[in-house]
Structure 1
């Protein structure tokens, strides 16, 4: 059996990478990691949250934008993640307009990851520490497998965790008036 050496990419190579497919990739320690297509429930939860966040932004007249899972967030020199949803400022939206590859160099206001059966440790462990280093102020982990939503708030460089289940109202510093329960999110 012949093994070929793994190809490691710089951040600049990652930004210009195209493989003539519709596949999305994250850059993790210089390696391209393919993101599998979302399950039906995953996609429905993402759509539900997108609509709820968008309505709340409009209701409160915030100068923010909800972006679905096609906007990268640069974590480090050789690492970029693509959250399922992010909330960005208007200035960040303007900055990505001219980018050939939409990857934020600054932290979004909120990042949301929806846990998939194949990689829960990515969302709970790796992305948690990566988003903290990137200083993402609030990070949601929506877990349909464990029927809970974890809200992590950045305090002094570390995340404080609050978990919500059932018909508990999800408390968010980004959206303090948003009235959503875990049941509503998971019933998407």
Structure 2
């Protein structure tokens, strides 16, 4: 099973390809995607945190009597090519994750794809969220992926169909987001950008 970080403290060489063993030695919060390290600092903006809080509240209310669990960052998601999670291939920290299999949850995070992942864009993460994470989440079977864009006040909802994100919906300011996986889940957009 995955062990927590080692006591050795270092920082990654961002020009080098790294492994999970390297990741365990890094100081601070890092993601590891395709061997590339991504620093999770500095802290997000107040608008980013407000949106995450509003979404967390909506998700918790919706899932409170269901067998799905809602996690807010920092919460590690481990993706592995094999069933061996001793040395996963990728580690991400989505803003919000909905895990519908309790067997995936460990004391250190989630093993494998959550059912739903939500990322709230910031200037430093936009390209990664639309490219590397999009491809990673699609490859490993995250059923639904929301990308919230505070700058444009939009939400992109991607749902898997036949192994790829073929269902794409764009919600704008006054609309209500509707999940494709959880048909009864509706989140009014105006609440998200009220700050």
Q: Give the TM bin, normalised by the shorter chain.
A: 0.7 to 0.9
Among 77, 82, 91, the residue aligned to 2:93: 82
1:73 to 64, 77, 80: 77
Q: 1:67 to 1:167 in 2, by over 3 A?
A: same
The match for 1:25 is 30
**Structure 2 CA distance, aligned partners of 1:26 and 1:131?**
14
RMSD over aligned Cα, in angstroms?
2.1
Query: Aligned pair 1:163/2:167, yes or no?
Result: no
**Structure 1: how far apart are the matches of 2:44 and 2:174?**
25
Cα–Cα, structure 1 residues 149 and 118, in superposed 2: closer, same or farther, change >3 Å?
A: same
Q: Give deviations 1:127-179, integer Å, cap 9, x for gaps.
A: 11110001000000010111100110001111121000122111102432233
C-alpha spacing 1:178/1:89, structure 2 compared with 1 (3 Å): closer
Q: Distance in 2 between matches of 1:128 and 1:121?
A: 10
For 2:139 and 2:101, how far apart are their aligned partners in 1? Answer: 23
Moved over 4 A (4+): 4-8
| Number of residue-to-residue matches in the alignment | 174
1:77-113 superposed Cα distances (whole Å, 9 cap, x missing partner)? 53221110000125146x413xxx42x3321010000
Structure 1: gaps spanning 5 or more residues: none
Q: Which runs of 5+ in 2 are unaligned?
A: 1-12, 81-87
2:20 corresponds in structure 1 to 11
Give the conservation status (yes or no) of the 8 Å contact 1:165–1:183. Answer: no
Q: Matched residues in 2 for 1:126 and 1:7: separation?
A: 17
Residue correspondence of structure 1 range 107-122 to structure 2 within 5 A: 107-122=113-128
How far apart are residue 183 of structure 1 and its match? 1.7
